Structure 1
Amino acid sequence: MSERETTRLVAWSRELRQVHQRLREALSVTRASLADGTPGEAATRDLLLYCHGFCTALDAHHQGEDRTLFPAIAAAHPQLRPVLRALQQDHSMIAYLLNGLRAAVGRSAPPEELDQHLEGIAAIMENHFRYEERQLLTVLETLELAAPPGEVLGPI
């Protein structure tokens, strides 16, 4: 195996960590926008933009994992299927929470309610990311997967 191939194999674990970090940052920016509390139409537009961007990015990340990454891991490491099922259940829970946030933003819910949505998403998302990293990073260092990172982990 060439050095480039080895680098590419290890890159999946690095890619996952980077995507998780960018999603954490996107959530932080969204929460900061809400905490700023600047009244007016511009603040509402900013919050809509941040929430939409964050929700879209997190959804795309999980869909890419479910569609491409997890089947590849299951094929190479069948013993991890229970872990992958648990992660997919988390994806469903997070999607449900994101839909609740979208609905709250769409009806211009008060900042306290929006923050409750974001706090719930943050707690589940962080727990999910940590579990995923503990369970999969070592596997990702040896996974052979010929697919663009954006397709596998979302366009982050």
Structure 2
Amino acid sequence: MSEREKTRLVAWGREMREVHDRLRAAHRVALDEAAAGRTPSASRDLLLFCHGFCTALDRHHRGEDALLFPAVAAEHPDLAEPLRKLEQDHAMIGHLVGALQADVTASADPDVLGRHLDGIGAIMESHFRFEERTLLGILDRLDLRAEVADVLGPL
């Protein structure tokens, strides 16, 4: 195995941490915009930030469900239960994101949007920490040949 191939094999854990950090940062920006959302321009910015954050989080979870988790399960069948829990988290977060998007589209009060973002943030952080504890060491050895954006989202 060449050094480049070895580097690619250990990059998945690092890539996941980096994507999680970018999603955390996008969430903080959306929260800040919700807190400042009492002016018309801030409300427009909030819509953009919430939409961008929601889209990025959804694509991240879809990529994990479609590509990453099956690859992990193939090499580590003993992780079936934690992977199932992570997929359930994705479904729950997806439901919460859908409710946020509906309220953003309906131009809900920034306080309502802030509460949505608080709830999503709490569950998202718990999910990310569990996912990182469960998978990072395994991802460093995972032989998955795919584009990072397809597996972990475009962020």
Q: TM-score range by the shorter chain?
A: over 0.9
Distance 1:66 1:127 in 2: 18
1:57 alignment partner in structure 2: 56
Q: Which residue in the other structure is 1:97 paired with? A: 96
- Whether 2:11 is the aligned partner of 1:11: answer yes
Query: Within 5 Å, which residues of 2 pair with 1:37-76?
Result: 37-40=37-40, 42-76=41-75
Kindly report which structure 2 residues correspond to 1:12-31, keeping only aligned pairs within 5 A, or say none.
Answer: 12-31=12-31
The two structures have a TM-score, normalised by structure 2, of 0.97
- Deviation, 1:5, is 1.4
Number of positions where the alignment pairs a residue of Structure 1 with one of Structure 2: 155
* CA drift at 1:140: 0.1
Partners of 1:49 and 1:129 lie apart in 2 by: 24
Question: How far apart are 1:38 and its partner, in Å?
Answer: 4.3
Contact map agreement 2:59 2:154 (CA 8 A) in 1: yes
Distance 1:133 1:146 in 2: 20
Unmatched segments (≥5 aa) in structure 1 = none
Q: Which amino acid aligns with 2:145?
A: A
Q: State the AA in 2 paired with 1:8.
A: R
Instruction: Summarize deviations over 1:105-147 as a string: whole Å, max 9, x none.
Output: 1111112211110000000000000000000000000000110
Which residue number in structure 1 is paired with residue 112 of structure 2? 113
1:73-93 deviation digits (Å, cap 9, x = unpaired): 000100001110000000000
2:122 corresponds in structure 1 to 123
Match of 1:13, SS state, is helix
Distance 1:30 1:105 in 2: 12
> SS state of the match for residue 47, structure 2?
helix
Aligned equivalents of 2:37 and 2:26: distance in 1?
18
Whichever residue aligns with residue 64 of structure 1, its letter is: G
Report the alpha carbon displacement of residue 37 of structure 1 after superposing the two structures with TM. Answer: 3.3
Secondary structure at the aligned position of 1:146 is classed as: coil
Distance 1:81 1:18 in 2: 25
Matched AA of 1:148: E
Which ranges of structure 2 fall in alignment gaps of 5 or more residues? none
* Cα RMSD, aligned residues only: 0.8
Q: Percent same amino acid at aligned positions?
A: 59
TM-score normalised per structure 1: 0.97
